[in-house]
Structures are given as C-alpha cells and as structure tokens.
Structure 1
Amino acid sequence: MFWFLLIAMVVVIAAVTLAVVGGSDSAALPEAPPEQLVDPLPPGRPVGRADVEALRLPVGLRGYRMADVDEVLGRLGAELAERDARIADLESALAGAQATAVGRQDMFTKPGEEPGR
C-alpha cells in the first residue's frame, strides 16, 4: 500500500508540473500581455493635480512597471523644475519692481508735480 501511494503521489506531482510548465505544444497557461498605462499624462498641456490624482500605474509581476513609473516621474520632475524656474523669475521681477517703487518718492504723482497735491 505504501508503494502504491508513493507512486500515485509522484504521478500527480508530475502531472501538475507538466500542466503548469506546459507540455511540448499545449498552452495550459498562455502568456498574458503586459498591462499598459491606460490614461497617461496629457502630452499637450501642463500636468495638473487632477491628472496626478487620476493616474493609475499598471502593476507588473513584482510591483509597478519600472518603465511607466520612470516616465511619469521624469515628466513630473521636469514640469516641477519648469514651474520653479517660472516662480523664481516672477519673484525676481516683483522684487525689482518693488525696489524701483521704493526708490521713487511718490508713485502716484506726475513728473513735475509736487508730492501731496
């Protein structure tokens, strides 16, 4: 009886292994196509908060697909750097305008007119 159970167990394990791995021409487990980024970030306009909140990255075998994550992080990093540069330009322009305004006696008087009138 012991030998019968041992042989039956070996046959079952071999059959399961062949079914999972796939025989010579059987397609027991067909290759699944990888998930693709369904709704990528909009290419024609700046990324907004709603775009980032709606973004869902596809999951791979061991987590998120690295290529998709790298693409999204690269795009977000570039847009944040562009916005930071724009903010710095606007702040320097504002500081220059404020320095010019402080240097003048009265911004609301016309040239040649006495201040306070």
Structure 2
Amino acid sequence: MLSLLVGLAAVAVVGALLFLGGSVLLGRGETQPPADLDRSPVELPEDRPVTGADVRALQISVAVRGYRMTEVDWLLEQLAQTIEERDEVIAALRAEGERPGRAADAATDPGLTLPPAPAQDGTAAAEDTGTREARSDA
C-alpha cells in the first residue's frame, strides 16, 4: 500500500514538473503569434465584378484527398475566358446603346442580336439562333 502511495506521489511530481517546464518554454499566458497558413487564401474581389485576370490569379492548394490539377486549371481557364467574353459583349452593347439615334429599349429593336439562351444542361440551345428577325410588314 505504501508503494502505491509513493508511486502516485511520484507521478504527481513528474506531472507538475512537466507542466511547469512546458509553461516556462511556451510562455506565461502570452498570446502566440498567428501561425502561417499552409495554403494560399482563395479570394475574389467584393468591391467590383470578377474579371478573367482574377480567376487566373487564383491558386488553389492541393490536399491529400485533393483534385486533378490539370482539370481544375482547365476549368479556371474556361471560366476566365467566359468572363472576358461576357465583359466584351456587355461593353459592346453599352457602346451600341449609347450611340445617338439608337433606340435604348431592346424590346423595340427588331435587329438586336441576343446571345443564345442556355438549355437545361448548360449548353446553348441548337434551335434558338438568338436573333430577332425584322418583320417585313413593320
């Protein structure tokens, strides 16, 4: 019985010494500086529309159960090109709408060329050409 009490006292003393040694080595309640991230932050601008350059600048870190880098890189490049094409179309439509004598209302403009409407699966509908035909009786 005495050896059990001596053993428990020895364990308590060793535990106390380890605790004191750890607190001396790690600091006395001082806050630790933030650890460096082991990955790059994935951020897009919140104060302006996303551009193709923003998408190209993304760097997604690889994890153990990660992804195929070539597929994600290809997807990001396609997304960047789509965004740039969209921005070019928007700029062209705005420039065309600001021309003098141009009707601002798209509903009254029979010659307006519209992009093809996407189908349910995300591809462009084959039967929709996206243009309005000018009526000959108008």
TM-score, normalization: structure 2?
A: 0.30
